[in-house]
Structure formats: C-alpha cells, structure tokens
C-alpha cells in the first residue's frame, strides 16, 4: 500500500495563498494519477484537481484559474498551489493516488485549510 502524507494546510485570510504538498512512500507499482479532494461537514467529498502521470490536468469549475496542481514524479510528490482563496474553500483536503495495475485508490489523512478573516 502507498502511504500518502499531506502538509501545508493552515489558517489564511481571504485572498491569501497556501501550497499543499503530498508525499507518497512505499510505492510498489506505478501511480497513474494523483489528485486533491476536499470535504466539509455534511457534504460529499469532491474532486478539486487531478494530474496524470503524463501531466494532463483536470480542475473543478469552482477552483479553475485560482488553483494549480503539479507533481514531481522523481520525488513522488504532488502539490496544490491555492491562490485567491475564498471562505468557501475552507475544507479538509485529502490527497489521492491511483495505483496500477487496477487504478486502486489510496488516501492521505487530510490537512485542514481554513479561509477566514
């Protein structure tokens, strides 16, 4: 099993920026894609951004133009640069990895992002 550890969350004022990191360890097979999800109390977990091994990206409409996902395959790390943060971005952010051969999902423990004045 791949172990995922998120970091970089915290408290930031509206309009501010944060960068989340997710480091993967214990990799036995190729990771086909990594992604960031977020969840708030009473709501379903939702996809924020995804990046494939080849580098293609997908963003939720709510964060498009403000968030940027990137990865360093050599370091087995994925990042989420969050700019122009809004209070509605407040959530627990989870790192996700899909691992071959069956694209099975693994999840990190989550890191809290709070946007408030």
Mean pLDDT of the region 99-116 = 93
Q: Given this model, what pLDDT does residue 1 score? A: 76
Q: 46 vs 72, which has greater pLDDT?
A: 46
Beta strands at 31-39 and 10-12: parallel, antiparallel or unpaired = unpaired
Tell me: pLDDT of 31 over 90. no
Residue 76 banded pLDDT, cuts 50, 70, 90: confident
**Burial class of residue 93, CB neighbours in 10 A (0-12, 13-18, 19+):** buried
Q: Given this model, what pLDDT does residue 27 score? A: 79
Residue 9, classed as helix, strand or coil, is coil
What stretches of 1-117 adopt beta strand conformation (E)? 3-7, 10-12, 18-25, 31-39, 46-52, 57-59, 67-72, 77-82, 91-99, 104-107, 111-115
Mean pLDDT of the region 59-73 = 95
């Amino acid at each position: 099993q791949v172990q995922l550890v998120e970091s970089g969350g915290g408290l930031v004022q509206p309009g501010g920026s944060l960068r989340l990191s997710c480091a993967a360890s214990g990799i036995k097979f190729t990771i086909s894609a990594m992604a960031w999800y977020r969840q708030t109390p009473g709501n379903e977990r939702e996809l924020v951004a995804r990046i494939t091994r080849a580098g293609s990206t997908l963003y939720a409409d709510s964060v498009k133009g403000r968030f940027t996902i990137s990865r360093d395959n050599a370091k087995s790390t994925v990042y989420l640069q969050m700019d122009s943060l809004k209070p509605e971005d407040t959530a627990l952010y989870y790192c996700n990895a899909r691992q071959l051969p069956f694209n099975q999902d693994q999840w990190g423990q989550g890191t809290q992002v709070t946007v408030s004045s």
